[in-house]
Amino acid sequence: MVTIEYEGDKAKVYSDAGRGDTFAEVLARRISRRNLLKSSVAASAIVLVGPESADAAHPESADAAQEASPVPGAAGSTLNFEPISQDTSDQIKVAPGHRATPFLRWGDPITADAPDFDPTNQTPEAQAKQFGYNCDWIGFLPLPMGSNATDRGLLIVNHEYTNPELMFPGYLAANPEFAAAMVSPQADQRQVDIPEFIANPTQNIVDVELEAHGLSIVEIARGQDGTWSLVRDSQLNRRITATTPMDLSGPAAGAPLLMTGTDPTGTQAVGTLNNCAGGVTPWGTALTGEENFQQYFANLNAIAEDNPIRAMHDRFGVNEEASERLWENFYDRFDLAKEPNEPFHFGWAVEIDPYDPQSKPKKRTALGRAKHEGATSAIAPGGQVAIYTGDDERFEYAYKFVTAGVYNPDDRAANMELLDEGTLYAARFNDDGTGEWLALVQGENGLTGDAGFPSQADVVINTRLAADAAGATKMDRPEDFETNPVTGKVYLVCTNNSRRDFDETSKANPRPNNIHGHIIEITEDGNDHASTSFTWEMFLLAGDPAHGSTWFAGFDPDEVSPISSPDNITFDLDGNIWISTDGQPNTFEVNDGLFAAPTEGAERGHLMQFFSAVPGAEVSGPVFTPDNNALFASVQHPGEGGTYEEPISTWPDGATPVRPCVVMIQAADATAGVGVVR
């Protein structure tokens, strides 16, 4: 819990735990840590090593590096790298002593029979066998299934969306309305609110885009030299796209709102869209979150004002008229004038079995409908499985689903049914550092028939409206939501919210105009993930410490790397948090990156930048192999803001088109751990 005090445009953040003492405490801790550092450096050879080590590359900064970098044993931190600086170049950068390599690029063939990438001759058939666009969340599943193997596994990767203006030459056409406005006698370019260029898709372009969405599943293997590579002829390699048939299961399956012209049963969906974050379950399936699905649908205005489904779609911001992508010109299902219920097939968490290439994905409606983000599993002491999910929009909610049944490590078939029955909750954060999980269950917490929730199907289809009624806390774009496997604490990442006014702030969303975002740390009561109450505190208030209003879990802000717009997180074997960002080009005018900090001990909150992406990109989906030998992360939408004809990035090939890409990061000695001491 922290308090922010404002004096004019300056802000200062205090810990509520011991306000007057805080700085003295920090200072004392710092001095003792430095002493520890010195003795430990002198006594130990385990400092950064390798050809690109801090010491070798910057001998003059060796002392500074040793002071800035935690050392194993020092104050309990195992993070051991020299932080890198902010960067704006069109090259990826990683901390000294490490290597970051493009691993899977958009268009790379991922099946034995896939054609090579040819950007000048793209077809949906080729794209359906190649790595998709805008890689995001990455899951690692060991092979064989159920093992703890660290030399062979499956990567499952979300492909959130497409940037056709970067994928296809000539995609953007001059807008005749703009030209007409500019020749009018009153024309003043600064006052013409009409885009100069508009989308000009063809059938082939739209069909390629549909196949570039979804997910890729690929087998990867570690070679003798310790590095990983794609096993291209694996029978498990598979694309799932915006045209793959899927089941709708759980309480909303078969509901009238899910019935469409092509699916009178309300149980069959076509494809998955805008797959952003996700998670793996204890039984080795993946859950992928459908986020900004509203953008694909057009013509909300075709639905009468008094038709209740209009408000349901409007809550997600479905386009009133044409969509930007214009897919509705090619497929009726994207046109609400023709298929008003089709958007109800999206916004779900979708369960996929990567170990069975024939399996049909299932949209698990019990987990609610939102702009879904991470779907992290945690097993409660009673055996129930909790799934934490965010809903990435300003003033939306954080959710948890707890299964009714219990996880059975010996019965995968039974586990595969767990996600259809359970309780969905939305979080309420109280200013005293406590919180409650409010059950979104028909008949409870105001979710009555009179209030618009005659059945549980209505509750899960309109999860946001249910959370409104229940009185959950409106958050600053609650995105990733992950458990720390070492401590059991749960971290909710709020990316930013520039629209929060001062009178809308509270302890859990304490900053107006929160352009840099924050991370909340939650401890479930009894460390029980099935609990309905919790305590929480502020872990990170992101931003540039030099400008105030930041908080790094009490750590001295003078010693951290500046960070903005935290987005995805993961944890290493020691419980250090790794944070990727989405928004630094807008706030700091530098490339997005990946950062790490200890979560416990005296080094708690000592944030250091580890990786930097390229212009226009966000970093997403960081995941370690189980032994922390490799870290995979997505460089998503590189070059966004440019066009095919006028690129702002040509990464990773040094040529157009720029290609979203999963990078593999390892220590220079590929047998060592990433960023930590092993």
Asked if 309 and 341 count as a contact pair (C-beta separation under 8 A), the reply is yes
State in angstroms the smallest separation of the CB of 292 from Ca ion: 9
Q: Does 582 bind Ca ion (CB under 5 A)?
A: yes
State in angstroms the smallest separation of the CB of 342 from ligand FEO: 21
State in angstroms the smallest separation of the CB of 374 from Ca ion: 8
User: Between residue 258 and residue 297, which ones bind Ca ion under the rule CB under 5 A?
Assistant: 276
- Which does residue 207 touch among ligand FEO, Ca ion, none (CB within 5 to 8 A, set by kind)? none
- Which does residue 398 touch among Ca ion, ligand FEO, none (CB within 5 to 8 A, set by kind)? none
Between 392 and 592, CB nearer to ligand FEO: 392
User: Between residue 117 and residue 146, which ones bind ligand FEO under the rule CB under 6 A?
Assistant: none
Between 278 and 354, CB nearer to Ca ion: 278
Between 108 and 396, CB nearer to ligand FEO: 396
State in angstroms the smallest separation of the CB of 476 from ligand FEO: 12
With CA atoms as reference, report the closest residue to 580 among 611, 555, 554.
611
Asked if 663 and 102 count as a contact pair (C-beta separation under 8 A), the reply is yes
Q: Which stretch binds Ca ion (CB under 5 A): 67-75, 188-196, 334-342, 578-586?
A: 578-586
Residues in contact with ligand FEO, counted by CB under 6 A, come to a total of 6
Q: Does 276 bind ligand FEO (CB under 6 A)?
A: yes
Between 124 and 583, CB nearer to ligand FEO: 583
Between 97 and 517, CB nearer to ligand FEO: 517
Q: Does 373 bind ligand FEO (CB under 6 A)?
A: yes
104 membership: H or E segment, kind and range: strand 98-105
- Per-residue contact track with Ca ion, 94 to 113, x per CB under 5 A? --------------------
- Which does residue 172 touch among Ca ion, ligand FEO, none (CB within 5 to 8 A, set by kind)? none
State in angstroms the smallest separation of the CB of 530 from ligand FEO: 27
- Per-residue contact track with ligand FEO, 497 to 526, x per CB under 6 A? ------------------------------
State in angstroms the smallest separation of the CB of 477 from ligand FEO: 7
By CB neighbour count within 10 A (0-12 exposed, 13-18 middle, 19+ buried), where does 589 fall?
exposed
Asked if 481 and 372 count as a contact pair (C-beta separation under 8 A), the reply is no
Between 71 and 542, CB nearer to ligand FEO: 542
User: Between residue 517 and residue 576, which ones bind Ca ion under the rule CB under 5 A?
Assistant: 567
State in angstroms the smallest separation of the CB of 412 from ligand FEO: 30
State in angstroms the smallest separation of the CB of 392 from ligand FEO: 3
With CA atoms as reference, report the closest residue to 265 among 252, 283, 276, 277.
252
- Which does residue 90 touch among ligand FEO, Ca ion, none (CB within 5 to 8 A, set by kind)? none
Asked if 488 and 526 count as a contact pair (C-beta separation under 8 A), the reply is no
Between 294 and 403, CB nearer to Ca ion: 294
With CA atoms as reference, report the closest residue to 524 among 645, 612, 356, 398.
398
Query: What 8-state DSSP symbol labels residue 468?
Result: H
Residue 334 CB coordination number (10 Å)? 23
Considering all CA atoms of the chain, what is the largest pairwise distance in Å, rounded to the nearest integer?
Answer: 78
State in angstroms the smallest separation of the CB of 235 from ligand FEO: 31
Q: Which residues contact 403 (CB under 8 A, 6 or more apart)?
A: 384, 385, 386, 418, 419, 421, 422
Asked if 639 and 658 count as a contact pair (C-beta separation under 8 A), the reply is yes
Between 379 and 635, CB nearer to ligand FEO: 635
Cα–Cα dist 298/651, whole Å:
33
Cα–Cα dist 532/557, whole Å:
34
Interface residue with ligand FEO among 335, 351, 458, 479 (CB under 6 A) is 479
Interface residue with ligand FEO among 291, 351, 353, 640 (CB under 6 A) is 291
Strand partners for 325:
none
Cα–Cα dist 669/100, whole Å:
12
Cα–Cα dist 453/337, whole Å:
25
State in angstroms the smallest separation of the CB of 496 from ligand FEO: 11
Q: Please compute Rg for the chain using Cα positions.
A: 25
Between 160 and 482, CB nearer to ligand FEO: 160
User: Between residue 142 and residue 161, which ones bind ligand FEO under the rule CB under 6 A?
Assistant: 160
Tokens of 50: 């390798």
- Which does residue 572 touch among Ca ion, ligand FEO, none (CB within 5 to 8 A, set by kind)? none
Asked if 625 and 653 count as a contact pair (C-beta separation under 8 A), the reply is no
Between 117 and 137, CB nearer to Ca ion: 137
- Which does residue 291 touch among Ca ion, ligand FEO, none (CB within 5 to 8 A, set by kind)? ligand FEO
Residues in contact with Ca ion, counted by CB under 5 A, come to a total of 3
- Beta-sheet pairing, 362-364 with 245-249: parallel
34 membership: H or E segment, kind and range: helix 22-43
The 3-state DSSP class for residue 452 equals coil
State in angstroms the smallest separation of the CB of 579 from ligand FEO: 14
Q: Measure CA 3 to chain center.
A: 28
Between 96 and 289, CB nearer to ligand FEO: 289
State in angstroms the smallest separation of the CB of 373 from ligand FEO: 6
State in angstroms the smallest separation of the CB of 580 from ligand FEO: 11
Q: Does 633 bind ligand FEO (CB under 6 A)?
A: no
Strand partners for 623:
632
| Helix boundaries (H) for 533-589 | 584-587
- Which does residue 160 touch among ligand FEO, Ca ion, none (CB within 5 to 8 A, set by kind)? ligand FEO
Between 276 and 519, CB nearer to Ca ion: 276
Between 373 and 420, CB nearer to ligand FEO: 373
Question: Which residue has the closest beta carbon to Ca ion?
Answer: 582
The 3-state DSSP class for residue 318 equals coil
Q: Does 392 bind ligand FEO (CB under 6 A)?
A: yes
Q: Does 273 bind ligand FEO (CB under 6 A)?
A: no
Amino acid residing at 432: D
Cα–Cα dist 287/652, whole Å:
29
Q: Which residues contact 547 (CB under 8 A, 6 or more apart)?
A: none
- Which does residue 458 touch among Ca ion, ligand FEO, none (CB within 5 to 8 A, set by kind)? none
Asked if 584 and 565 count as a contact pair (C-beta separation under 8 A), the reply is yes
Tokens of 271: 């494809």
Distances in Å between the alpha carbon of 525 and those of 381, 422, 529, 539?
A: 12, 19, 8, 18
User: Which residues of the chain form contacts with Ca ion (CB under 5 A)?
Assistant: 276, 567, 582
User: Which residues of the chain form contacts with ligand FEO (CB under 6 A)?
Assistant: 160, 276, 291, 373, 392, 479
